[in-house]
Amino acid sequence: MEDCIFCNIINKKINSSIVYEDDYVVAFPDINPQAPVHLLIVPKEHIKSPLDIGEDNKELIGHVYIVAKNLAKKFGIDKKGYRLVTNCGNDGGQTVLHIHFHLLGGRFMTWPPG
């Protein structure tokens, strides 16, 4: 996916400060942080949105939650809590069409979200 910004970060064609990487996901800081800790956890597979998650991706999505937990510990937001958000489609606020999970913490999160 040559024109996908997240594929280009994954392929290291675009610079970012990757804080975690394994065979399935990368994580890096959001360029426009909405909380003191705001990381994006991005599957390496170019899945466009949550609507495109298939049966084959079950393990991958579970893995994202484990990585999120470990990163929450590493970045010191596990004890107070954090939010893991995936936006889907226009109304959901999705702007990048490569599935990603926002790991947000370090401040109190209001509900409902805006």
Torsion sign (Cα): 51, 46, 97, 114 = positive
Of residues 40 through 79, those in contact with ligand AMP by CB under 6 A are 40
The CB-of-37 to ligand AMP minimum distance in angstroms stands at 13
Residue 104 binds to ligand AMP (criterion: CB under 6 A): no
Kindly tell me which of 72 and 94 has the beta carbon lying closer to ligand AMP: 94
Binding span for ligand AMP by CB under 6 A among 42-50, 58-66, 68-76, 86-94: 86-94
Residue 46 binds to Zn ion (criterion: CB under 5 A): yes
- Kindly state the helix (H) or strand (E) to which residue 92 belongs, with its residue range: helix 89-92
Residue 87 binds to ligand AMP (criterion: CB under 6 A): yes
Contacts by residues 18-23 (CB-CB < 8 Å, ≥ 24 positions apart): 19/71, 19/74, 20/67, 20/70, 20/71, 20/74, 22/67
100 as an active site residue: the answer is yes
Active site residues: 100
